[in-house]
Amino acid sequence: MTREELQNSLPDLAPGATFEEGGEWLNMNVTAESWKAVSHALKFTAGFDFDYLFCLTCVDWKTHLTMVYHLTSTTHRHNMVVKIKLDRTKPEVETVCDTWRTAEFHEREVFELFGVVFLNHPDLRNLILPDVWDGFPLRKDYEDPINMIKL
Amino acid sequence: MIEEVATTEQGDLVINIGPQHPATHGVLHLVITLNGETIKKVEPHLGYIHRSIEKMCESLSYRQFIYVTSRMDYLSSHINNHACAMLVEKGMQIEIPERAQYIRVIMDELTRIASHQLWWGAMGMDIGAFTPFFLAFREREMINSIMEETCGARLTMNYMVPGGVMADIHPNFCRTVKEFITHFKSKIDEYDTLLTGNVIFQNRMKGVGILSKEDAISFGCSGPVARASGVKCDIRKLYPYEVYDKVNFEEILATEGDSFARYNVRLLEMRESMRIIEQLIDNIPEGDIQAKTKAVLKLPKGEFYTRIETARGEFGIYVVSEGGTTPYRIKFRSPGFSNLSALDHMVRGQKLGDMVAIMGTLDLVIPDIDR
């Protein structure tokens, strides 16, 4: 599907979703509450088949956090980006690792570096950092006087 | 190498492999739960060489951040640099001269061959064959010399700049590359005779660590790992960049999805890379090697994503720009990280000795995973 076709047909799968102008691929904003159902629909609805999650990350905007999911379909070869705005003090979103299994690793990485809690994740522990670590290194306000080199 | 032995309540044995272990090809730490010799679970523990390159890049300019990425996947450092240069060119809409495109692609393919050669040698050593390692390094040395002549470095080349390449190729470049291709064509047959057809080797590799097509897609695998399971994922074919749409080459696919299929895909990819180089090396056009760029690069406000096919798979860079001279947020999608996420699924139910063969064919480079 082309970008316009996706934009026209996606509101059926994700009610209340908003779309952003610009960018290389279609950007869709959904709420954290609806993400579980939407992710399932994106992967398993015929015609969409977004079965390949190739990038999962988070951006700290100082006022809020944004989860960013890059999806593609290996059958139709269309791409899209899903974004979820999260509260910075209590960021919580449902896990998608039962839909795309690679998310289990990526979510653990985001959990420790950004502090986003993924609900119903089977094994939400630190993957990279030691078990005891204060703060979330990739957040903008993180300070480490010893290890951080400021240029 | 076994640091600590413990048992679970069910009587399963828990052992640690790594972080210092030759089979993990770097500082990867695996906690393995065993029932007898059968693996029940593998938990990778990462972070022993995590440098937080993503955080570092937030304070580096768009000319500087290229050089940090050489230190991620050091075996495809040139291709990583290429991805960074492409990202800046995409954001600022810089057209690069054709000569630079040709040089970039030839260098990319040389890097891919060198990376696969090292993997081939290490793969043999993982299973207990020592000779391949020496043979692979003999041929790899030729590529390193070619790189050294033109780029000045052997491993972390840093030859790419936004807009083209840093310097023109050495006058000997075309001749040495052609000599290498002729030499390597006879040697790669030797590789096949030595290892591929070996019955002991085949018995260790066939039917081991099977990854189905659905699982490969779900785990986000890319590169030879996914192609051995039948997933078409070659970025050079799907989203051609530079001059890849002008050359003839095959995307190597296999359907078995076992360790031997992954082995074969890489060996055949080396031959395809040679084919690409052969088509380009005589036709490098004359002209500039760099487009004219501003002294200070600023990406417009917005989000950019580029992807490129490294030796290990799809390498992506996601950049959020606020319009300044440094990226606001940068994320490297490294192929090794996604491929590693499939390890636990692949080794469950296999024997401990087979895990080494499976990990070898995943071709993990730990700095790429840890970033």
| Segment B9-43, tens digit of pLDDT | 777 888 888 788 777 777 888 888 888 888 988 98
Q: Looking at beta carbons, which residues of chain B come within 8 Å of A51?
A: 217-218
Which chain A residue has the Cα nearest residue B54? A138
Q: CB under 8 Å to B224, separation ≥6 — which residues?
A: B252, B262, B265, B266, B269, B312, B313, B363
CB of A81 closer than 8 Å to CB of A70: yes
* Mean pLDDT (whole number) for B196-220: 88
In the structure, what pLDDT confidence band is assigned to residue B113 with cuts at 50, 70 and 90? Answer: very high
CB of B167 closer than 8 Å to CB of B149: no
Q: Looking at beta carbons, which residues of chain B come within 8 Å of A52?
A: 217, 220
Tokens of B25: 């090809």
Q: Does A125 fall in a domain?
A: no
In the structure, what pLDDT confidence band is assigned to residue B116 with cuts at 50, 70 and 90? Answer: very high
Q: Looking at beta carbons, which residues of chain B come within 8 Å of A105?
A: 337-338, 340-341
Q: Does A29 fall in a domain?
A: yes
Q: Does A105 fall in a domain?
A: no
Tell me how many helices (H) and strands (E) chain A has: 3, 7
For residues B25 and B162, give the distance between their C-alpha atoms in angstroms, rounded to a whole number.
32
Report all structural domains of chain B as residue ranges with CATH numbers, in order of start. 5-45 (no CATH), 53-370 (1.10.645.10)
Element (H, E) at B356: helix B352-362
Which chain B residue has the Cα nearest residue A143? B55
For residues A20 and A59, give the distance between their C-alpha atoms in angstroms, rounded to a whole number.
16
Q: Does A97 fall in a domain?
A: no
Closest CA to A71 of A27, A110, A109, A132: A27
Q: Does A47 fall in a domain?
A: yes
Which chain B residue has the Cα nearest residue A150? B59
Question: At B223, phi and psi to the nearest 5?
Answer: 70, -160
**B46, B60, B305 member nearest A151 (Cβ):** B60
pLDDT over 90 percentage in chain B: 18
Q: How far is A11 from chain B (nearest CA, A)?
A: 23
> How many structural domains are present in chain A?
1
* CB-CB under 8 Å, B233 with A59: no
pLDDT over 70 percentage in chain B: 98
Q: Looking at beta carbons, which residues of chain B come within 8 Å of A101?
A: 215, 218-219, 341-342, 345
Q: Does A108 fall in a domain?
A: no
Q: Looking at beta carbons, which residues of chain B come within 8 Å of A151?
A: 59-60
Q: Looking at beta carbons, which residues of chain B come within 8 Å of A149?
A: 56
User: What confidence tens digit (pLDDT) does each residue in A35-64 have?
Assistant: 888 888 888 888 888 889 888 999 988 899
* CB-CB under 8 Å, A54 with B338: yes
For residues B254 and B252, give the distance between their C-alpha atoms in angstroms, rounded to a whole number.
7
CATH no. for residue A62? Answer: 3.30.460.80
* CB-CB under 8 Å, B45 with A59: no
Within B230-332, residue ranges assigned H as helices are 235-238, 259-281
Q: Does A22 fall in a domain?
A: yes
Q: Which of A21, A50, A52, A95 to mutate to test the interface with B (most CBs of B within 10 A)?
A: A52
**B218, B219, B318 member nearest A57 (Cβ):** B318
CB of B273 closer than 8 Å to CB of B109: yes
CB of B346 closer than 8 Å to CB of B210: yes
Which chain B residue has the Cα nearest residue A131? B45
- Average pLDDT of the residues of chain B: 87
* CB-CB under 8 Å, A57 with B331: yes
Tens of each residue's pLDDT in chain A, 151 residues? 777 787 777 777 777 778 888 778 888 888 888 888 888 888 888 888 888 988 899 998 889 999 999 999 888 888 889 999 998 888 889 888 888 888 888 999 999 889 899 888 888 888 888 888 888 888 888 887 777 766 5
- The number of C-beta contacts closer than 8 angstroms across A and B is 87
* CB-CB under 8 Å, B333 with A55: yes
Q: pTM for this structure?
A: 0.88
**A74, A101, A127 member nearest B219 (Cβ):** A101
Q: Does A14 fall in a domain?
A: yes
Find the domain containing A81 and state its range.
Answer: 3-90
Closest CA to B84 of B300, B293, B333: B333
